[in-house]
Structure 1
Amino acid sequence: MSAAETRRRQSPVDDLARWLDDRLRLAEGSKKYLNKAFPAHWSFLLGEVALFSLVVLLFTGTFLAFFYTPDARLVVYEGPYVPLQGLEISAAYESTLRLSFEVRAGLLMRQIHHWAALVFVAAIVAHMLRVFFTGAFRRPREINWVIGVLLLLLSFAAGFTGYSLPDDLLSGTGLRIGYSVVLGIPFVGPLLGFLLLGGEYPGTDTISRLHIAHVMLIPAGLLGLLGAHLAILIRQKHTHKPSSLARDDNVVGEPLFPSQTLTTLSLGAFTIAVLCLLGGLFEINPVWLYGTYEPYEVFAPAQPDWYMGWTEGLVRLWPAWEWTILGVTITSTFLPAVGLGGVIFTVLFAWPWIDKKWVGKDDLEHHLLQRPRDNPLRTGIGVAALTLMGVIFVAGSNDVIASNLEMGLQTLTVLLRWACFVLPPITGFIAFRIARSLQRGEQPAPAREPSPVESA
């Protein structure tokens, strides 16, 4: 077949590909990237679950934005939900009810969006735990660890602002608690509260400002950090599990195409399917049952989404201590929510350098992962920290637990306070001893003679 006949038989797709390659030189590096190795272990897919959850959040959030009204002005509800008919409610709450009862697939999209937010944060936390316990944050990946902590913080902010947008009684109660915490910050609290919410809460600008943050500022930050995270990952390559083939100067795994591509597409389809299943079958945040927000009413029992439970627990466990210093009152909400919360995230940000100085005592470059048993001290610290956060998380529901167990709320609070000091050292020490025992129980592998090819 002549060259002229070959050109005539090419499809328009071939012509387009050649046109693009002629101008962008796409084929030059394609083979290199298509053969890029990805570690073949399920734990490395946790970050991809977070990525696909974020994609679902963006698509469902765009759908919801078409029908949501970010306005606090009062309107008379005339929709199909009978218990609220004829009542004055905010335009934001009315649009949320309209989404739930009148917009085709509106309730499904609302619930998928909410479930995706829960899974998104859970996947980030699980991914960071994998990175922590395997030492994947060590040099040269400290920057990506810091970016991961920033992504976690922004995911909290995205969840809190989105949770507050319906303007129902439950979300209004949570926002009131958050506003009180901000006001408790010495010197700058009232000014910061005014800037964030447009004045005293509840104000006419509160919903619109939260909406701008939720749909514009925070997603831009998430996408920017995610892009930086992936760019650094591609540049530095993946860490990988120790094996007979794995070294610090290579990556052992599956090629990007076709193996990893098929795995990623399958995981994406599965993640989207599970989120749709959760949104379609499991009710979440039925705002019509809570009613509109009124400043003089409090929804009880008010429980935040799981990822904010630790902040609620800190506030509930902290004693009602207040101090006045230089005429400024340090409120009982400032130290637990801002002070201790700030300490927790400061330690998270600084952990790669803390580990290098006192835990791992190692400033070398690493591309091979560690098993939890390979660093018993880090494993013990991690388990102790998880135990502490677990106790604090439980304390965020102390009123519900006390009611179900038929015990005094104050008694349960005292028990949880003691548990914060007693349980973490115990579980951390147990984890340390188990890791040390497993480490000592391993027999060193016999030295392997190099093959002639390796010798060469």
Structure 2
Amino acid sequence: MRRLLRAWDQPRTGRIAAGLRRRAFPDDLSVLLAQIGVFSFVLVAISGVALMFFYDPSMEQVTYAGPYTPLTGVEMSRAFASTLDLSVGVRGGLLMRQVHHWSSLVMTAALMVYLLRLFFTGAFRRPRQWTWLLGVAALLLAMGGGLTGSALPDDLLSGSSMAVLDGVLAATPFVGGLASQVLFGGRTPGDVTAVFYPVHVVALPAALVIVFVAMAVLGLRRKPAQWAGRERPGTNLATFLVRSAGLFLIVSGVVVTMGAALTVNPVWRYGPADPASATAGSTPTWYLAFLDGALRLAPGWEFGWLGRTWSVAILLPLLVGTLFFAVLAAYPYLEQRVTRDRSEHQQLQRPREHPVRTGVGVAGIVFYGVLWAAAGANTIALVFHGSVEWLMYILQALVVLGPVIGFDVTRRICLGLQRAEREVLQHGRETGRIVRTPSGGYVEIHEPVRVAGPRNPAAQVGPAAQVGPGEREPAAITPPANHELSPLP
């Protein structure tokens, strides 16, 4: 049986290897960003496996008697005690925690920039909608990993976050009570690690591996879209592997350096979780801060309906967050339906070539940024010696008006850039050479645009603005180096 399997497998393996050797691997910015995300995930997995040997996911209360003497005799969970011992008692343990944290941040940032690049260049259009959907899924899974991982140390900061999460779930109609019961057992903090730990170390990493493999398969079967007039032929397998190995070493070096030099989540300063206490000035992880900002900006209104009390402060952030990611995932299909464009696109678009899409993207960034800033409103007010109340009023106005203003300004800028390009294509490029006509007037000589490529996709030759028929070109006046004309007689 083994011989039959080996005989059947060898031809298939040989064909796959030969196909990979003949294939041209794409050399594109989107591929680079996706690789950074994947390599950061590899660092997350390696450091996470190392941390599993020292972490105890138990909420059982113990009296601390470890190497960190300031907390000796303090009641805490085994999860926090093991995290504290790992940070101060295990050689290299703190560095491993820092690498795990920073690599997750870099992975999420790389996925965000990857999606922004796909969006503003139109690389999500047919036939690449699945690439976009997989990218959004990877981003959501990375955010889920950050949320579940932040609860595992059971320090005061994570305990405050879990208290907020439990309050939001408990106030959500219909399903909130059941969700709170499952996660927290009906009380905070409950046994949250019993649910979050397997999700964090098994379910979410497995889902991310599946998503990344699917993205790689799609990338091999359908190469990324290219700029018009500048198609990149790609590289062979050997070159691609060497470049990928070099990029992995660069990402690893940067992340390890950040972990060694920049301390994040110092649990020994926070202490164990306490439902009666909260850390002053605390904010969630940066990519989840917009959810906290939405909670802060929502008005504290309530109304009765169907025999229930509905809180706008809870429902509005949930609705806004859900709609934001739903629209983000469905945007390729929404644009296809609005524009009625069902053709396949193999070329990228510059942002200025699609003003509405670019405006929508900037509006989304402004909306996300205002919510993100609202999460740190108290810190901003403290640093700039302002009023938190007035700052919240300003942010509440900006979260509504900011996206509208951002859309309109961006759309106008894109249209202005299009008009400027049409002027250059029609009349040529300014040369700075001024000539005098026989009638006594002065005109500037323009040269035709002859450069084709992504910066001039039309590749048209604009007519030069020449002197009128029958007139000769007198002596030209060359401007100085600063392009300012000398006084003319």
Larger Rg belongs to: 2
Counterpart CA distance in 1 for 2:293 and 2:135 is 24
Q: Is the 8 A contact 2:362 2:406 kept in 1?
A: yes
TM-score by length of 1: 0.88
Q: Is the 8 A contact 2:47 2:96 kept in 1?
A: yes
Counterpart CA distance in 1 for 2:22 and 2:353 is 31
Aligned 1:178-217 pairs, distance under 5 A: 178-203=165-190, 205-217=191-203
Aligned 1:6-405 pairs, distance under 5 A: 23-203=10-190, 205-243=191-229, 246=231, 252-358=232-338, 360-405=339-384
Q: Is the 8 A contact 1:21 1:27 kept in 2?
A: no
**Mind listing any 5+ residue stretches in structure 1 that lack a counterpart?**
1-18, 247-251, 448-456
Select between 311-320 and 228-237 the one with higher mean Cα deviation: 228-237
Residue 270 of structure 1 and its aligned partner are, at CA, apart by 0.3
Counterpart CA distance in 2 for 1:261 and 1:393 is 38
Q: Is the 8 A contact 2:228 2:348 kept in 1?
A: yes
Q: Is the 8 A contact 2:189 2:275 kept in 1?
A: yes
Residue 217 of structure 1 and its aligned partner are, at CA, apart by 1.3
Q: 1:193 to 1:28 in 2, by over 3 A?
A: same
Paired residue type of 1:227? V
Q: Which structure carries more relative contact order (alpha carbon 8 Å, separation 6+)?
A: 1
Q: Is the 8 A contact 1:181 1:333 kept in 2?
A: no
Paired residue type of 1:224? I
Aligned match of 1:431: 410
Q: Is the 8 A contact 1:184 1:333 kept in 2?
A: no
Paired residue type of 2:287? Y
Paired residue type of 1:294? D
Residue 152 of structure 1 and its aligned partner are, at CA, apart by 1.4
Q: 1:439 to 1:260 in 2, by over 3 A?
A: farther
Residue 143 of structure 1 and its aligned partner are, at CA, apart by 2.1
Counterpart CA distance in 2 for 1:351 and 1:74 is 48
Q: Is the 8 A contact 2:25 2:220 kept in 1?
A: no
Counterpart CA distance in 1 for 2:34 and 2:315 is 33
The size of the alignment, in residue pairs, is: 421
Percent identity of paired positions between Structure 1 and Structure 2:
38
Match of 2:62, SS? strand
Paired residue type of 1:99? L
**1:416 equivalenced with 2:395 (yes/no):** yes
Q: Residue by residue, what CA displacement relative to the aligned partner does 1:366-393 show, whole Å, maximum 9, x if unpaired?
A: 1211111121110111111111111111
Aligned match of 2:485: none
Q: Is the 8 A contact 1:198 1:209 kept in 2?
A: no
Aligned match of 2:435: none
Paired residue type of 2:359? G
Q: 1:20 to 1:297 in 2, by over 3 A?
A: farther
Counterpart CA distance in 2 for 1:283 and 1:328 is 46
Residue 78 of structure 1 and its aligned partner are, at CA, apart by 0.9
Q: Is the 8 A contact 1:38 1:238 kept in 2?
A: no
Q: Is the 8 A contact 1:39 1:240 kept in 2?
A: no
Q: Is the 8 A contact 1:60 1:113 kept in 2?
A: yes
Match of 2:122, SS? coil
Aligned match of 1:454: none
Q: Residue by residue, what CA displacement relative to the aligned partner does 1:224-261 show, whole Å, maximum 9, x if unpaired?
A: 222222222222232222225x4xxxxx3322323322
Match of 1:254, SS? coil
Task: Name whichever structure is richer in helix by fraction.
Answer: 1
Residue 149 of structure 1 and its aligned partner are, at CA, apart by 1.5
Select between 418-427 and 78-87 the one with higher mean Cα deviation: 418-427
Match of 1:391, SS? helix
Paired residue type of 1:89? M
Q: Is the 8 A contact 1:173 1:299 kept in 2?
A: yes
Counterpart CA distance in 2 for 1:24 and 1:110 is 45
Counterpart CA distance in 2 for 1:189 and 1:375 is 41
Q: Is the 8 A contact 1:169 1:294 kept in 2?
A: yes
**Mind listing any 5+ residue stretches in structure 2 that lack a counterpart?**
1-5, 426-457, 462-489
Residue 142 of structure 1 and its aligned partner are, at CA, apart by 1.4
